[in-house]
Structure 1
């Protein structure tokens, strides 16, 4: 057997050339990857951004199996091969290229979503939403990649896409409530109407947000039980978020008896001004003789507490109440309460 011996339409010399091309290309690809990685790693040490780390991850994702087959495929152009062999080789190469492109895009998806999570100071619930978005995006990516491979292999994907469309509509109708809650969780994540730890009021329900899930969110009510609410209901309802309150506007009323002298009635607003204005962290707004009620002369008081903390507000209100009682006792002013005076007419 010499170099001119023909095997499967090619001489041994042809096969030697093809082997040489394969080895040269394979080592060229490996050396190219090695130097690119070295260059990027040096660049990454000099920069503060993390995009170069992502590029390093992309280069590292190129596995030796990809180089092996790419070099093998290019080497076969120097020899005679059957049409079937060429078609199979092209199919395998197409699969490897699509697979590699999908890996690269997935790395970019993870980078963008992770960057978004860091910028938003994401908690565990935000990370759950990010992971869900990532999985959905990657699933769509793999479906598109599979359709591309089938299309290039000569498969008519028109009917397949139509079937997937009809099936998708049927599934969407069957799972419309679940999908509505899923997309509502994304809306909560991006819009941030509330987050874990916030005290919110939804209709007649109120409590502290403990968890924001994919389908439901959980509140711990003032009574201590856990309240589970669907995310769709949360995004369609009017929500009061007290955790974002920078200051609390407080108002209250009290009444004094009709027997109170007019000079003391005029002095009461100044008493309230002094009492409320002396408290730390409180901004007094106004105090007025408001109206004549059935059993009392009613005053209205408005002030602001420089915090959204409900306990602090109650401490302030309690101190105001104590000082009003003490001041009225000292001034001889009687607090009003519901009374009824009956006049008896003597008919003789």
Structure 2
């Protein structure tokens, strides 16, 4: 019966009353301050539209009421005198409560950040696999650090535990080396963003649009219709052309005119090309020059820019330029060149040509004809 005499002590109940009243009062104050601060910050964040302010508001809203009560209790216990053993336990309680609350805040911040990463600035959906992997890894890291910190604070030797986890991680990494290589390649694609879903890419003999970026593979819908599956690590080793991000397209093409074109009309051809290109919308003329004397033509080189990445639009513009060149060359009375070949006979006699259905010439007639023929002649032959 004497063991229960301490319950009759007035000092004990007075201390319990003080702790209880102080705990409830502090809990009410902390909860009110947290809700008021989050409300004011939320109203201010509506005009800012900043990710940092949004994260701050959501993190404040994720403050645990249980942990607020624990903080209030720990603060109230400071108002009364406690045994030394209780003081030590109270110190551990402070650390555990604070570590749990910080872990909850960081976990909430990671989830909000990764949710914001899913949608780009123009409203398109980004790669969900990569953002999910990043979120899971970061949340595992946060809670692992929190757990190890609590264990270390209460006196547990975590050195052996950390070493065991390191050895086990190395063994697992060696066993799934290929999978990890593709997984980290997926993370690299998600963070560095060399391409995203919907981009038109070309690498090697593959040309198509990105349909899906997964944990191990990326799927591409080719121009011919089939789906091409490529490992992420293999894809990053390629030199890849991303045409969706091309703001303008540089075009150069050549054409030729015949050698018998007068010099003044050769100059007019370059001016004609300039007028045609500048007269078409969404183009920027760069240059048009008489480039070279080739085997059977005077070669012109034309360079211009299409102010769009759309390939079909480029083809429409090139067709308009070609049609304009056809019409303009007819008006200038200038002919396009085509492959020709000339055979020249110097001295000697022309070979006899016998055509079926025509009467044969006599020897005298052939002699008269050969006497009238020139010593040299050129026979053009088209090939």
SS at match of 2:230: strand
Q: How does 1:148-159 map to 2 (within 5 A)?
A: 148-159=149-160
In structure 2, do the counterparts of structure 1 residues 286 and 98 end up closer, same or farther at CA, with 3 Å as the change threshold? Answer: closer
Q: Which residue of 2 aligns with 1:219?
A: 220
SS at match of 2:212: strand
Q: Which residue of 2 aligns with 1:265?
A: 266
How big is the shift at 1:165?
Answer: 0.9
How big is the shift at 1:330?
Answer: 3.9
Is 1:71 aligned to 2:73, yes or no? yes
What is the alpha-carbon distance in structure 2 between the residues aligned to residue 71 and residue 273 of structure 1?
A: 84
CA contact (8 A) 1:188 1:194 kept: yes
Picking from 23, 28, 48, the partner of 2:25 is 28
Q: Which residue of 2 aligns with 1:133?
A: 134
Is 1:206 aligned to 2:202, yes or no? no
CA RMSD, aligned part only?
Answer: 3.9
What is the alpha-carbon distance in structure 2 between the residues aligned to residue 69 and residue 35 of structure 1?
A: 14
In structure 2, do the counterparts of structure 1 residues 226 and 326 end up closer, same or farther at CA, with 3 Å as the change threshold? Answer: same
How big is the shift at 1:250?
Answer: 1.0
In structure 2, do the counterparts of structure 1 residues 152 and 220 end up closer, same or farther at CA, with 3 Å as the change threshold? Answer: same
CA contact (8 A) 1:210 1:219 kept: yes
Q: How does 1:11-50 map to 2 (within 5 A)?
A: 11-13=7-9, 16-17=13-14, 19-44=16-41, 46-48=43-45
In structure 2, do the counterparts of structure 1 residues 324 and 21 end up closer, same or farther at CA, with 3 Å as the change threshold? Answer: same
How big is the shift at 1:161?
Answer: 1.0
Q: Which residue of 2 aligns with 1:289?
A: 290
* Bigger Rg, which one: 2
Uncovered stretches (5+) of structure 1, i.e. residues with no partner = none
CA contact (8 A) 1:43 1:52 kept: no
Q: With structure 2 as the length reference, what TM-score do the two structures score?
A: 0.72
In structure 2, do the counterparts of structure 1 residues 10 and 98 end up closer, same or farther at CA, with 3 Å as the change threshold? Answer: farther
CA contact (8 A) 1:276 1:284 kept: yes
Moved more, 104-113 or 237-246: 104-113
Aligned residue pairs, count = 342
What is the alpha-carbon distance in structure 1 between the residues aligned to residue 262 and residue 70 of structure 2?
A: 103
Uncovered stretches (5+) of structure 2, i.e. residues with no partner = 352-383
CA contact (8 A) 1:22 1:75 kept: yes
CA contact (8 A) 1:254 1:298 kept: yes
SS at match of 1:10: helix
Picking from 33, 53, 56, the partner of 1:54 is 56
How big is the shift at 1:108?
Answer: 3.4
In structure 2, do the counterparts of structure 1 residues 193 and 131 end up closer, same or farther at CA, with 3 Å as the change threshold? Answer: same
What is the alpha-carbon distance in structure 1 between the residues aligned to residue 18 and residue 8 of structure 2?
A: 14
Q: Deviations over 1:110-139 (max 9, x none)?
A: 455556677855743255433322221110
How big is the shift at 1:311?
Answer: 1.2
SS at match of 1:249: strand
Q: Which residue of 2 aligns with 1:299?
A: 300
